Amino acid sequence: MTRFEAADPVERRKLYVDAITAHRNRDSGFLTLEADETVLGVDTDDADDVAARDSSDDESDETAAELGVPWVQFGDGTVNLDCTDDELDALKTLLGEFPAFKIDELTRPEEVDGVNVRISAKADPNRIAQFVDDVFLEVYDLPSAFRVWAVEV
């Protein structure tokens, strides 16, 4: 694997497939994909992104900020992520489009106002890549041109 970031939607999906393939070939424990930390800031020229951030309620913004930069892990046929309760609702809706993906476990740590979700993802790398990109776009509500990093393979 020679590249570790992508911002274009097509290139992001290629990156996910390459990272999943590298992860499987290396027999590593998991791979981690992380949105670029700039998605948390409001320093953007895109008025739609600013308006979307301004229109969300303060409580969910605070919880999202506490959870940090959105990330998704994949390993051994399982997708793992942290989310807020609102993001969990969006995730459940998204799972309706991916019938082969099922929530295996929800964990609500006492020290954080979020939920850790483990999803069985017994699918080919392309389908997993579609799901991961949709998680970033629809669950975490990131702009279509966000940058993602393969931070651990």
Q: Considering the chain, what is the average pLDDT of its residues?
A: 85
The answer for residues whose C-beta is within 8 angstroms of residue 111's C-beta and 6 or more apart is none
What domain range includes position 46? Answer: 5-152
Specify the DSSP class assigned to residue 104: E
pLDDT of 88-104, one tens digit each?
999 999 999 999 999 99
Q: Is the pLDDT of residue 117 over 70?
A: yes
pLDDT of 35-78, one tens digit each?
999 877 644 344 344 333 333 444 444 444 556 899 999 999 99
The answer for residues whose C-beta is within 8 angstroms of residue 56's C-beta and 6 or more apart is none
What pTM was estimated for this model as a whole?
0.82
Number of domains in the chain: 1
pLDDT at 113: 83
